[in-house]
Each structure stands twice: as C-alpha cells, then as structure tokens.
Amino acid sequence: MKEKKQGFVHRNKMFVVIMSILIICIISLVVYIMIGKVKDNQLNSVGIPEQEEPSYNEPVSSDTRIQDFSGSYNRNTDQIEFNWKLNIGEKDIDKVELKYNGNRLMDVSSYRQCYISREGYNIPTGDNEFILVVQQKDGKVIEGKTKVFIKYVVSLNQVVKQDGQKTKVTLEYQYNKKHPVKPPRLIVLDDTIQYESMKYIGTDYKEVNDVVNEKTEYEFVWGEQPVKYKQIYVRWSFDEINDSVDFIMDKGSLKENDTIKKEDE
C-alpha cells in the first residue's frame, strides 16, 4: 500500500507543485487584504480630514477699501475725469468725498465716476493731487490718492478775420504764472498753400490772480485777387514745452455760391 502511494506522488509530482503554489498565493492574498483593512481602520480612528477645494474668494474686510482711483485731464473739454472702485466692507459708509488741497470739491457717495471743470474749481496747470475720502459710520476714514497732470497751456481758442487780401489769425490761451510759456509758432500743415507772406504780429498779455491770458496773432497776405475760399489746417506749436494744438483756418470768405469742394482746389 505504501508503495502505491509513493508511486502516485511520483507520477503526479508536477500537479502537487502547482497546487502547493496556488494555495500559498491564496493564503498570501487573504493576509494582504486583512492587513489593509486594519490600516484603514487605524487611519479613520486618527481622524484625517478630507481634502477641501481651495477657495479663491477674498475674505470680506471689516473696512471699505478704495481700488483703482485715477484721474485724467481732457484739454478739449477742460474737464478732469475721475474713476474708482470701492470694495465694501462690513462697516457702513457715511459718505464719500472728493478733496483737493484739503478742501471738499464734491460729495460722490452715489458715484464711481465724476467730472469736474478745471476752470470752475481753479485747478492750476502742472501736477495736482486729489484725495478720495471714505467716511465710515464708526468714524474711521479711508483715503485714496491720485495725481493728475494739467497741461501748461489751457483754454485755447482760435479767431480768424478776413481783411481783403489778408487773413489775421489769433490764438487765445491761458497758463499759470508759475509755469510760464513763450508765444507759439504758427505752422501751415499743407505744403501746397501759396501766400505772399506770413508774419508774426505780436502777443497781448493780461494777468489776473496769477493766471495769464494771452493772444498771439499772425497775418497772411495772399497773392491773388479775389482771394479764393479754402480751409487750411494749421498748428500752434509751443516748442519749449513740447506741446501743440491743431486748428482749421479759413482762407478768404465763404460766399453764397462757394461750396466746400473748393477745399480741394
């Protein structure tokens, strides 16, 4: 009987080896799963928090913050434009004011943009600092500052008068005494314009409360009779401050039978 068992084992040796390996793998897998469950229970018992999605919202401040307060000057309208944003906090706002040189210009509590007249508020040329003041109901004051550059020459106006074969053109302008400028040069921008002469006549000067009002005059003499109507582009150049302004000047008088097409003659 013993010999039969040994013969069976000998004949099925390969089968026995495979079964042994399979049993060992099953036992190893069971042990691995059990160990994993124990580790999970240990981690949960420590209380490791779940990862939260990051928040990109800024925390609400107790005080209001002023953002992007800026100003710019428009010489064509002679106005200063202001823009700003308010990041409203938890504290209530009493009022918002625009100030200059310590003086209140206007209440802007209901606005995020406003315009002021440079001449109306007597804002001088050059750099000027303005302050936006937020007054909270708890008494706290928040300020924002911005600087606005006002061009040295303002309130420009051109006057043209026809006198036979002559055209007189005058530039009226204004500047502050602390930022003086020299009279401008007159430049004809169209090279095809023909004239006998163009000369500087003079500049009238008048000062009131440190504000200077000047009038600079030039005269054209045309080499034709009668003088044909034409619109000419000219430039008044303030060379020492690198500034200029362009205007359209009438040559001759526009008569009833004249048409604008004569500009192209």
Provide the pLDDT for residue 224: 87
pLDDT in the model for residue 13: 66
- State whether 166 and 194 are in the same domain: yes
Residue-number span of the structural domain to which 101 is assigned = 65-150
How is residue 121 annotated by DSSP? Answer: T
- 165: CATH: 2.60.40
Neighbours of 91 (CB within 10 A): 17
This prediction has a pTM of 0.69
| Alpha-carbon gap, residue 85 to 67, rounded angstroms | 5
**pLDDT for res 26:** 80
Each of the 265 residues of the chain gets a pLDDT tens digit; together they read: 545 455 555 556 666 667 777 777 787 766 666 666 544 544 343 333 333 444 445 555 688 999 999 999 999 999 999 999 999 888 899 999 999 999 999 999 999 999 999 999 999 999 999 999 999 999 999 999 999 999 999 999 999 999 999 999 999 999 999 999 999 999 999 989 999 999 999 999 999 999 999 999 999 999 888 899 999 999 999 999 999 999 999 999 876 545 544 333 3
In the prediction, which pLDDT does 27 show?
78
Provide the angle, in degrees to the nearest 10, between the axes of the packed helices 2-11 and 13-46: 70
Spatial separation of the C-alpha atoms in residues 94 and 89, rounded to whole Å:
13
Residue 57, in any domain of the structure:
no
Domain boundary among 99, 123, 150: 150
Per-residue pLDDT, 58:
53
Alpha helices (H) in 47-93, listed in sequence order: none
C-alpha 238/C-alpha 35 separation (Å) is: 89
Q: What is the pLDDT of residue 223?
A: 86
Q: Say if 174 falls within a structural domain.
A: yes
Q: Has residue 27 been placed in a domain?
A: no
